[in-house]
A and B are shown apart, each in its own frame.
Chain A
Amino acid sequence: MGQITNSFFEAFKLIFSFDPELIEILYLSFEITLIAVIISCVIGIPLGTVLACTRFYFRKAIISIFFALMGLPPVVVGLFVYLIFSRSGTLGWMGLLYSPTVMIIAQIILITPIICCLTFQTMESLHLKYRELFQSFHIGKVKAMKAYIIDSRFELITVILAGFGRSISEVGAIIIVGGNIDHLTRVMTTAIALETSKGNLSLAMGLGIILLLIAVFVNVAMIFTKNKFLNPSNQDL
């Protein structure tokens, strides 16, 4: 119990000292997470919508594959990306190994299936509701998809939050492809891993508490925004 109390002290010490290293690590964590989530949404949301709203030959197979990909072990993804971007790998010539860029790529591989599948589920129920309407008015596919996305904007906030949560807590893949290099590829989670391996458990836990606070803050902020635009009388499911 003593160590956990110490952790809170460590957390406060770090926060109020505005430790430059902490700020650097936090900034990088956010940069990587934000970019990875944005790109994953750009790919995943339209993809999930298309899968829900159109019918084509391999549709069911592709849906099953994406749902399976949600359970990709991060360490496996890390290894896979590492092998591709290693100097001796297919894309080694890009020299992206051990950089924030390759960490973002690994994150995108992990998060896109989640965003895609959660979007798919949201859109499926919307599609059931709107299909006949759109069909009877001959609404074009692209216009229909835009409408689905706009109309489910509040549910999509939750989807994006799920992606964000997954991304900010990721460590397995990014520690392999990033190398946890000081001042370059060290983020909150990999820093926690490092401090743990140095036996600095209180500090590690302190960092963990800060990470937790940030994740909670982001979630609360997003949900608050969502509810602000959803008047009680507006609640439509």
Chain B
Amino acid sequence: MFKKNPNIKISNISYSIDGKCLLKKTSLDVSGNGITVILGANGAGKTIFLKLLSGLINPDNGEIKTRSKDFSFSNSAMVFQEPIILRRSVLSNILFVIDKIQSQKKIMASELIDTLGLSGKDNQSAQTLSAGEKQRLSLARALITQPKILLLDEPTANIEPTSTIYIEKVLERKSSTGTKIFFVTHDINQAKRLANDIIYLENGKVMEYTKSSIFFKNPTTLSGKKYISGIISDVKNNN
């Protein structure tokens, strides 16, 4: 077994733009292990929350800390909703994020290409990949930095099932070997499949932080209940 990661301490962070508050003052003690899925309606602040975690944006107040230097957000990587790919080969895209390219990294890149089902496409122009393949490439690129924390913003929102499966499988494997994963999604079923715990946001406020099993059976807040039932009733109607 591996050493368990310490908790991530979020203390009094808030975020506003132009006077509009996008994330209300939040303090949270998040588990440093497993997959945390971030849920909420559109505009709830999920992406803002994720970006604050990753360090892409800085909170107006407060801080996000981990108790270990090794396990921290400076050693994290992010996958965006829209795959942002450079105009070069698949392999070159992956190696782009590495400072010093050694043979060891090249081997790792090849392995990642295989793991994510992009075998044989090393030297192919990345622009010719399908949306799903591009997103798989984005994940491979994130993984080559060997991050301790992985953040994903609706990575499978606009792609086909094959790629979704590849990505979910890799995430599960990574999580089981000690990588902390934060995952934003609108897909309840996906959340049920992957999540160990859930952060539920509404209107820029963290309403709930609970184990996944608890949240989906019986959310504590009314909002949470509404969110789940809203989705579930949608599913019922479609049937």
Q: Is the Cβ of B88 less than 8 Å from the Cβ of A150?
A: yes
Q: Which residue of A lies closest to B79 (CB)?
A: A136
Q: Could you list 22 examples of A-B contacts with CB < 8 Å?
A: A129-B84, A132-B56, A132-B80, A133-B80, A133-B84, A135-B56, A136-B54, A137-B77, A137-B97, A137-B145, A139-B96, A139-B97, A147-B86, A147-B96, A150-B87, A151-B86, A153-B87, A231-B128, A233-B127, A233-B128, A234-B127, A236-B127
Chain A interface extent, by class: 10 to 19
Which chain A residues have a beta carbon within 8 Å of chain B's beta carbons? Answer: 129-130, 132-133, 135-137, 139, 147, 150-151, 153, 231, 233-234, 236
Interface centre among A137, A139, A231, by most chain B C-beta atoms within 10 angstroms, is: A137
Q: Which residue of B lies closest to A148 (CB)?
A: B86
Interface centre among B56, B87, B97, B128, by most chain A C-beta atoms within 10 angstroms, is: B87
With both chains docked as a complex, state the minimum distance between the C-beta of A52 and any C-beta of chain B, in angstroms: 16
Query: Which label, helix, strand, loop or mixed, suits the secondary structure of the A interface?
Result: helix
Q: Is the Cβ of A234 less than 8 Å from the Cβ of B86?
A: no
Q: How far is the CA of A234 from the CA of B87 in the complex (A)?
A: 9
B110 in the interface (beta carbon within 8 A)? no
B11 in the interface (beta carbon within 8 A)? no
Q: How far is the CA of A136 from the CA of B57 in the complex (A)?
A: 10
Q: Is the Cβ of B127 less than 8 Å from the Cβ of A136?
A: no
Q: Is the Cβ of A234 less than 8 Å from the Cβ of B96?
A: no
With both chains docked as a complex, state the minimum distance between the C-beta of B17 and any C-beta of chain A, in angstroms: 15
Q: How far is the CA of A151 from the CA of B145 in the complex (A)?
A: 22
Which chain B residues have a beta carbon within 8 Å of chain A's beta carbons? Answer: 54, 56, 77-78, 80, 84, 86-88, 96-97, 125, 127-128, 145
With both chains docked as a complex, state the minimum distance between the C-beta of B41 and any C-beta of chain A, in angstroms: 23
Q: Is the Cβ of A136 less than 8 Å from the Cβ of B56?
A: yes
Which of A132, A150, A153, A234 is close to B84, meaning CB atoms less than 8 Å apart? A132
Which residues does chain B contribute within 8 Å of A151, judged by CB atoms? 86-88
Q: How far is the CA of A126 from the CA of B97 in the complex (A)?
A: 17
Which residues does chain B contribute within 8 Å of A150, judged by CB atoms? 87-88
Q: Which residue of B lies closest to A235 (CB)?
A: B127
Which residues does chain A contribute within 8 Å of B125, judged by CB atoms? 231, 234
Q: How far is the CA of A220 from the CA of B87 in the complex (A)?
A: 24
By Cβ-Cβ distance, the 7 closest A-B pairs, closest first, are A133-B84, A136-B78, A137-B97, A151-B87, A236-B127, A234-B127, A233-B128
Which residues does chain B contribute within 8 Å of A136, judged by CB atoms? 54, 56, 77-78
Which residues does chain A contribute within 8 Å of B87, judged by CB atoms? 150-151, 153, 236
Q: How far is the CA of A232 from the CA of B202 in the complex (A)?
A: 44
With both chains docked as a complex, state the minimum distance between the C-beta of A167 and any C-beta of chain B, in angstroms: 28
Q: How far is the CA of A96 from the CA of B80 in the complex (A)?
A: 56
In addition to A133-B84, A151-B88, A231-B125, 19 A-B residue pairs with Cβ atoms within 8 Å of each other are A130-B84, A130-B86, A133-B80, A135-B56, A136-B56, A136-B77, A137-B77, A137-B145, A139-B96, A139-B97, A147-B86, A147-B96, A150-B87, A150-B88, A151-B87, A153-B87, A233-B127, A234-B127, A234-B128
With both chains docked as a complex, state the minimum distance between the C-beta of B72 and any C-beta of chain A, in angstroms: 13
